[in-house]
A and B are shown apart, each in its own frame.
Chain A
């Protein structure tokens, strides 16, 4: 666990998007497992010593839990004629006004395997997202987005900081309640826990907002021209988008395309002018170094390489199991996915402080 990230937040963003794309394109358990392994490796190497960084295992276990629930539900409710039955459990028929669904009964091999394969893909996507949260500095991320969105980014950073303190407040409140009842469980415990936690959270939020106000947050001079331009651009974008929607409904494809393009340009102008108008400067923004560029480009290659491999060879990317068998494994595909592991090869920054 290191204290400051080695790689730029944007490189990690490219990594997370590429990994997600790979999972979606190569929907096979082997490739999914490979990507999961790479995500774990990246957290091992670059995980930050923040509460969210430490929450990665929790993230994964939660995803696995919901996957198991999903497979069980699918197995109990999925019945397709012609499938192989593995074994039979007691069944019950729901009343017809609930759809007359049969729960239980024959547990079919094809249903369980297909559901498990699907659920595993979701687990891997969540793990990638969890890994991204564990390695990235959220503050650095807000520093890298256009200045027009600075306030929004800050809101997210502050909200994330509230999660660990709320968990701690819940723990302390429950302990205080236990001590007060003399160690016995007493009724009305949830109510006695929720109220103090909410009140303390509110008090903290108020003092934080006052501290931010006292430190000049939201300070700016009179509204200047740039901000007005940005406002008009955003209104224009909204109008154009609404027009595009109407054009789509009436199947005027050309008009819809033109209006969507206009909206996109207006949004770009709005963001650019409002970013230029924001009278804020940035303290030591983390530069995007050559290493960051190299990593971002090479991980972005992974989904591209996957597409090339899939189109030029007969390697099957998607595997939907019908029976218990080993999934097909193709070295070319695996090598393409292995590009995602490049960040894990870079040594993290040595931990500073405690």
Chain B
């Protein structure tokens, strides 16, 4: 067993609740273990125990033992375990030490005092293992998220550890970047036999390549075993598994391919045509020929949009396609050419919720906006309720999980009385319950006559809430139409649509049976 936890319990300083309680675990070399669980369930803490960041860096009370390749974390600090555990952080930006990819990869080797010739060879090996040889002379700050995360993994692998631990490595990435990163991890596992321990919220891509899933629930290991059994009743399971569960398939499919072959003779009613949907109201926000330039670069080229009352629009596209820029232009935050007409108040929620949050409690955060915009404080309770924040009202914003912070940022903007909400990447780092709360809040806001534009990579969310989808490519509008039509053509289409063409969600499939 290369990694072993025995009776591990841990409490962070100044907390009453145990973050981990009685965790025992043994992983054999070369295994691929995915760790699932809601935000705040202790996934990260479990991972951080593997190389001694908990308790050496976190402080707090620790009991039990963790041993990696025969070394106990009790008497080895993270820096003394570099050659057995590689650790990759969620935020690709916060792990580079040097402004040069190739030199940065050698950081761990330099610290270990590896001889220059061996170091040279090792760096070439990891460059090839992660397929980043072409990036060797770049500055990490100029790379895309997926490239950056692969460089970070290479840096963690430089000292040839037997165990690689990754804490939500794809949560900040677009689908293509996530695919590249997980592909690289799978290859390391299959070809080099590196043991992988990876935490993820979005299980869709991890489950097909994992041998084993750990379900962490409030500091305990709730279930441990093969993906099909562990995730059978888990609400955050991949969409194909939820589809299989709803249709009582046995065994549960974990891939689109398996689901397709199991359901090839399923007969369903007609594809829903949206006839029952309420008619759209008048145009509340209209943009004509929106163009934005940053220096010499044209970021947005003549994009049009008519947003109606009661409409939810999803804005899809690669990283750097101009989604954020378009939202900022719609909100009037940046200089642009082309007319934007707003007949009502427009609220913009930025990608990083931390840029908004500065108050002492969740309720104060909403109160701040109400004071700034001189709105009625009565709306506060309603928005806390709508986004599922009511139980957290007296907590400090910085103590919340990233999904909860995202929801708080939305509530803090929405309470200012904007009937049009522009949400930039709202499901980044969100767990399943947060995502469900967000989806129902968006639907409820639209039902009450509001309108929402979501810039997102999350096609499952777009399929759930959006009636219309816009796709941006290189700053230009590539597609604009009903969600069902636009999403159908895409390689990153929602899983249900790929299994049963024409159907967007599990609920639609069940209704058509």
Partner-B contacts on A (CB < 8 A): 3-4, 49-50, 137-139, 154, 157-158, 161, 164-165, 169, 172-173, 175-184, 186, 191-192, 195-196, 199-200, 203-204, 207-219, 279-284, 352-354
When distances are taken between beta carbons in the complex, the residues of chain B under 8 Å from A192 are 358, 368
B123 near A216 (CB under 8 angstroms)? no
B108 near A216 (CB under 8 angstroms)? yes
Q: A169-B355, A175-B333, A283-B103 are in contact. List 4 more A-B contacts (CB 8 A).
A: A179-B349, A200-B354, A207-B95, A281-B109
A199 near B354 (CB under 8 angstroms)? yes
A216 near B350 (CB under 8 angstroms)? no
A279 near B113 (CB under 8 angstroms)? yes
| Complexed CA–CA distance, A211 and B104 (Å) | 12
A178 near B98 (CB under 8 angstroms)? no
Q: Which of A158, A169, A181 contacts B372 (CB 8 A)?
A: A181
The A-contacting residues of B in range 298-338, CB under 8 angstroms, are 328, 331-333
A216 near B82 (CB under 8 angstroms)? yes
| Complexed CA–CA distance, A194 and B421 (Å) | 26
A-contact 0/1 string along B95-108, CB 8 Å cutoff: 10111101100111
Q: Which of B30-38, B189-197, B412-420, B482-490 participates in binding chain A?
A: B412-420
Chain B nearest CB from A160 CB (Å) reads 9
When distances are taken between beta carbons in the complex, the residues of chain B under 8 Å from A154 are 97
B79 near A218 (CB under 8 angstroms)? yes
A191 near B358 (CB under 8 angstroms)? yes
B357 near A179 (CB under 8 angstroms)? no
Known: A215-B155, A279-B113. A284 touches B120 (CB 8 A): yes
| Complexed CA–CA distance, A178 and B159 (Å) | 46
A50 near B333 (CB under 8 angstroms)? no
For residue A213, which residue of chain B has the nearest CB? B78
The A-contacting residues of B in range 356-396, CB under 8 angstroms, are 356-358, 368-369, 372-373
| Complexed CA–CA distance, A176 and B373 (Å) | 14
When distances are taken between beta carbons in the complex, the residues of chain A under 8 Å from B102 are 284
Known: A176-B356, A179-B331, A180-B356. A219 touches B413 (CB 8 A): no
Known: A181-B372, A214-B53, A353-B142. A157 touches B98 (CB 8 A): yes
Partner-A contacts on B (CB < 8 A): 51, 53, 56-57, 77-80, 82, 85-87, 89, 91, 93-95, 97-100, 102-103, 106-116, 119-120, 123, 135, 137-139, 141-142, 155-156, 159, 328, 331-333, 345, 347-350, 352, 354-358, 368-369, 372-373, 398, 412-413, 416, 418
For residue B57, which residue of chain A has the nearest CB? A210
B372 near A186 (CB under 8 angstroms)? yes
Q: Which of A50, A196, A211, A352 contacts B356 (CB 8 A)?
A: A196
For residue B98, which residue of chain A has the nearest CB? A139
Q: Which of A181, A191, A196, A216 contacts B355 (CB 8 A)?
A: A196
For residue A185, which residue of chain B has the nearest CB? B372
| Complexed CA–CA distance, A352 and B142 (Å) | 12
| Complexed CA–CA distance, A26 and B95 (Å) | 46
| Complexed CA–CA distance, A200 and B405 (Å) | 13
Chain B nearest CB from A258 CB (Å) reads 39
| Complexed CA–CA distance, A180 and B91 (Å) | 26
Q: Which of A139, A175, A208, A352 contacts B103 (CB 8 A)?
A: A139
Can you offer 15 A-B residue contacts whose CB atoms are under 8 A?
A50-B139, A173-B356, A176-B355, A178-B333, A180-B373, A182-B418, A211-B94, A212-B97, A214-B85, A214-B86, A215-B156, A216-B79, A217-B79, A283-B109, A284-B120
Chain B nearest CB from A126 CB (Å) reads 24
| Complexed CA–CA distance, A186 and B80 (Å) | 51
Tell which of A158, A181, A214 has the most Cβ of chain B within 10 Å: A214
| Complexed CA–CA distance, A123 and B403 (Å) | 50
A180 near B115 (CB under 8 angstroms)? no
B418 near A214 (CB under 8 angstroms)? no
When distances are taken between beta carbons in the complex, the residues of chain A under 8 Å from B116 are 281-284
| Complexed CA–CA distance, A165 and B99 (Å) | 13
Known: A180-B416, A281-B110. A207 touches B142 (CB 8 A): no
Chain A nearest CB from B148 CB (Å) reads 13
Chain A nearest CB from B107 CB (Å) reads 5
Q: Which of B53, B119, B331 contacts A281 (CB 8 A)?
A: B119
B100 near A183 (CB under 8 angstroms)? no
| Complexed CA–CA distance, A139 and B99 (Å) | 7
When distances are taken between beta carbons in the complex, the residues of chain B under 8 Å from A281 are 109-110, 113-116, 119
Tell which of B77, B82, B110 has the most Cβ of chain A within 10 Å: B110
B98 near A173 (CB under 8 angstroms)? no
When distances are taken between beta carbons in the complex, the residues of chain B under 8 Å from A191 are 358
B137 near A216 (CB under 8 angstroms)? no
A283 near B355 (CB under 8 angstroms)? no
A182 near B79 (CB under 8 angstroms)? no
Chain A nearest CB from B502 CB (Å) reads 38
A211 near B89 (CB under 8 angstroms)? yes
Chain B nearest CB from A242 CB (Å) reads 35
B78 near A214 (CB under 8 angstroms)? yes
B345 near A182 (CB under 8 angstroms)? yes
B111 near A179 (CB under 8 angstroms)? no
B138 near A353 (CB under 8 angstroms)? yes
Known: A183-B332, A207-B94, A219-B79. A161 touches B99 (CB 8 A): yes
When distances are taken between beta carbons in the complex, the residues of chain B under 8 Å from A282 are 110, 116
Known: A186-B372, A195-B358, A217-B79. A179 touches B350 (CB 8 A): yes
Tell which of A3, A211, A212 has the most Cβ of chain B within 10 Å: A211
When distances are taken between beta carbons in the complex, the residues of chain A under 8 Å from B112 are 216, 219
When distances are taken between beta carbons in the complex, the residues of chain B under 8 Å from A181 are 372-373, 416
Known: A196-B355, A214-B87, A282-B116. A3 touches B79 (CB 8 A): no
Tell which of A158, A172, A175, A281 has the most Cβ of chain B within 10 Å: A281
Known: A199-B354, A283-B103. A352 touches B137 (CB 8 A): yes
| Complexed CA–CA distance, A104 and B505 (Å) | 78
A214 near B156 (CB under 8 angstroms)? yes
B373 near A280 (CB under 8 angstroms)? no
